[in-house]
């Protein structure tokens, strides 16, 4: 009998899709989580509490568990579990990525070192300890540059600086993000420094792939039609198939394959972000996992199977090759931008937005009554809009129109604390990316006014 171990933290967005895929495959699943599950006692074969932050100890508990409940594959739902999944798979003799390769992909500085050494186009980079005086570091940097944590995801803490003054402000803004207790626990010594890279202009794409014994199978390439020029890098629209010329797509694939080889990644899902400009194709980031958030809902393969089902079939050694073909329609997602910080009070216009032709679903993932924290501090998505249509152009247009019909009622932050009562709500029509950026300037976030940890 096949049994799968799915490693997922309690905060992952990916749980539902993987569990649903396992259900469809009718494979028993063990959920390996960082916190005890409420119903664990009722189903000891289905739950395992395991430390994601100490992969050796975690792998040991997994091996012990398998003596009673054998496991055929260990899969990490997202970044948090990839090192543990590789370590446990090695201990169990299951097909896996080398732990060293996965660790390199989890450390953006190490990744840059490996790529540069392999001669792969990759920005110039350096790192600076957070204890260093940013005004001094600012003189050693070429501009424009991008400052970023070495191990976070979702563009958290990623800031562009065009000169020394912006560099100092950005550096000072990243330090408290890295000093939040849960971030220190997650990053350990990687939380002590900031990576600084040349800013690479250009269009950005994401590549979703599956590695089998070192061979890369491209599952899809997404275009990101909104420019990502900073100062923060909030992702919005992903549309597939890519509208880039086939020759450019081939170069994207070749560049990704070369980077994977340099890193030593060989098995399982991969997700890469690349930029293309007149100097070539650049790896921004490459990870040994599938796409994050709820974005995988844009993908359907073969007779309608999900990305997660493909990944599980692959992991279980069930030949997935008959499912590799993506569906004929175009598809896309908008990660709804957070228009301004504050308390989410109400979401208006959802039925109208859902009526836009091509729109399949709108999911607001931050509950009303909770705080919205924009980038660079924020770590949660406001929500997702999904669309399918005949062409990528139509998908993009549907996503934009649906977004335009949404209105978010947000109470500004700090007012409750200052006055003891909530200030009147602001009606925020879903803004364009540029408006959202301006709104952030208005609220003083860019100047470094608000510092909230979460
Ligand atoms: P994360 O893993 O948090 O998403 P990334 O390193 O992928 O961090 O950066 C997030 C986004 O920031 C990228 O998708 C890209 O748009 C932008 N970015 C990061 N580094 C650079 C760079 N060197 N040049 C240009 N843009 C960058």
Domain 202-327 class in CATH? alpha beta
Q: Torsions phi, psi of 389, nearest 5?
A: -165, 180
pLDDT in tens, 56-88: 999 999 999 999 999 999 999 999 999 999 999
In the three-class reduction of DSSP (H, G, I as helix; E, B as strand; rest coil), residue 420 is classed as coil
Alpha carbon of 268 to ligand 1 centroid (Å)? 23
The CB of 158 under 6 Å from ligand 1? The reply is yes
The CB of 378 under 6 Å from ligand 1? The reply is no
Give me the DSSP letters along 281-345.
EEEEEEESS---TTGGGG--BTTTB-HHHHHHHHHTT---GGG-SBPSSEEEEEE----SSEEEE
The CB of 199 under 6 Å from ligand 1? The reply is yes
Alpha carbon of 75 to ligand 1 centroid (Å)? 25
The CB of 273 under 6 Å from ligand 1? The reply is yes
Q: What is the pLDDT of residue 444?
A: 28
Q: What is the pLDDT of residue 431?
A: 54
Q: What is the pLDDT of residue 47?
A: 87
The CB of 155 under 6 Å from ligand 1? The reply is yes
Q: Check if the beta carbon of residue 347 is closer than 8 Å to that of residue 408.
A: yes
User: β-strands 47-49, 29-33: how paired?
Assistant: parallel
Ligand 1: atom nearest CA of 202 is 25
Domain at 4-99: CATH architecture: 3-Layer(aba) Sandwich (3.40)
Q: From 3.30.360.10, 3.30.470.20, 2.40.50.140, 3.90.1150.10, which CATH number describes the 331-442 domain?
A: 3.30.470.20
Flag whether pLDDT at 330 surpasses 70: yes
Q: Where are the domains of the chain?
A: 4-99, 124-198, 202-327, 331-442
- Helices within 121-245 (DSSP H only): 134-137, 164-179, 181-187
Report residue 454's pLDDT band, with 50, 70 and 90 as the boundaries: very low
CATH fold of 124-198: Dna Ligase; domain 1 (3.30.1490)
Q: Check if the beta carbon of residue 238 is closer than 8 Å to that of residue 222.
A: yes
- Percent of the chain predicted with pLDDT > 70: 89
Q: What is the pTM of this model?
A: 0.91
Instruction: Note the Cα 182 to chain centre separation in Å.
Output: 18
The CB of 396 under 6 Å from ligand 1? The reply is no
Q: What is the pLDDT of residue 44?
A: 67
**Do 202-327 and 331-442 come out as alike in CATH topology?**
yes
Alpha carbon of 392 to ligand 1 centroid (Å)? 24
Mutate to test the pocket of ligand 1, among 141, 142, 146 (most ligand atoms within 8 A of CB): 146
User: β-strands 125-129, 193-198: how paired?
Assistant: antiparallel
The CB of 228 under 6 Å from ligand 1? The reply is yes
Alpha carbon of 426 to ligand 1 centroid (Å)? 31
Other CB atoms within 10 Å distance of the CB of residue 46: 15
Q: Torsions phi, psi of 164, nearest 5?
A: -60, -40
Return the DSSP state at 424.
P
The CB of 34 under 6 Å from ligand 1? The reply is no
Task: Name the token pair of 339.
Answer: 């228009």
């Amino acid at each position: 009998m096949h049994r799968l171990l799915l490693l997922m933290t309690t905060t992952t967005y990916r749980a539902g899709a993987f569990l649903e895929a396992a259900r469809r495959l009718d494979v028993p699943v063990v959920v390996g989580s960082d916190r005890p599950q409420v119903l664990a006692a009722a189903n000891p074969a289905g739950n395992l509490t395991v430390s994601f932050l100490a992969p050796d100890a975690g792998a040991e508990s997994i091996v012990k568990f398998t003596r009673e409940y054998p496991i055929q594959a260990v899969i990490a739902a997202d970044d948090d579990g990839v090192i543990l999944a590789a370590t446990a798979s090695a201990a169990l003799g299951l097909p896996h990525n080398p732990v060293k390769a996965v660790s390199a992909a989890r450390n953006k500085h190490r990744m840059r070192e490996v790529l540069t050494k392999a001669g792969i186009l990759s920005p110039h980079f350096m790192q600076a300890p957070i204890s260093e005086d940013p005004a001094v570091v600012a003189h050693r940097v070429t501009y424009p540059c991008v400052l970023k944590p070495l191990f976070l995801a979702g563009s958290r803490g990623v800031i562009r600086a065009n000169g020394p003054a912006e560099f100092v402000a950005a550096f000072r803004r990243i330090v408290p993000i890295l000093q939040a207790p849960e971030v220190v626990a997650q990053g350990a010594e990687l939380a002590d420094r900031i990576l600084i890279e040349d800013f690479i202009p250009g269009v950005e794409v994401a590549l979703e792939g599956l590695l089998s014994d070192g061979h890369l199978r491209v599952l899809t390439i997404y275009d990101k039609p909104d420019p990502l020029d900073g100062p923060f890098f909030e992702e919005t629209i992903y549309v597939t198939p890519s509208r880039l010329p086939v020759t450019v797509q081939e170069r994207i694939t070749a560049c990704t394959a070369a980077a994977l080889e340099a890193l030593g990644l060989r098995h399982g899902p991969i997700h890469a972000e690349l930029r293309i400009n007149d100097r070539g194709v650049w790896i921004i980031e490459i990870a040994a996992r599938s796409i994050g958030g709820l974005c995988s809902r844009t993908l359907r393969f073969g007779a309608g199977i999900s990305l997660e089902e493909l990944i599980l079939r692959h992991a279980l050694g069930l030949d997935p090759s008959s499912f590799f073909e993506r569906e004929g329609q175009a598809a896309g997602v908008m990660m709804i931008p957070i228009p301004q910080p504050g308390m989410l009070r109400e979401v208006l216009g959802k039925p109208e937005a859902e009526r836009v032709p091509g729109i399949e679903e709108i999911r607001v993932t931050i509950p009303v009554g909770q705080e919205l924290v924009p980038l660079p501090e924020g770590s949660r998505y406001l929500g997702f809009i999904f669309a399918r249509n005949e062409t990528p152009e139509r998908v993009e247009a549907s996503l934009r129109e649906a977004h335009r019909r949404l209105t978010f009622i947000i109470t500004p932050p700090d007012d409750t604390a200052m006055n003891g009562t909530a200030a009147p709500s602001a009606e925020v029509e879903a803004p364009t990316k540029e408006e959202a950026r301006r709104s952030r300037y208005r609220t003083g976030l860019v100047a470094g006014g608000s510092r909230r940890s979460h």
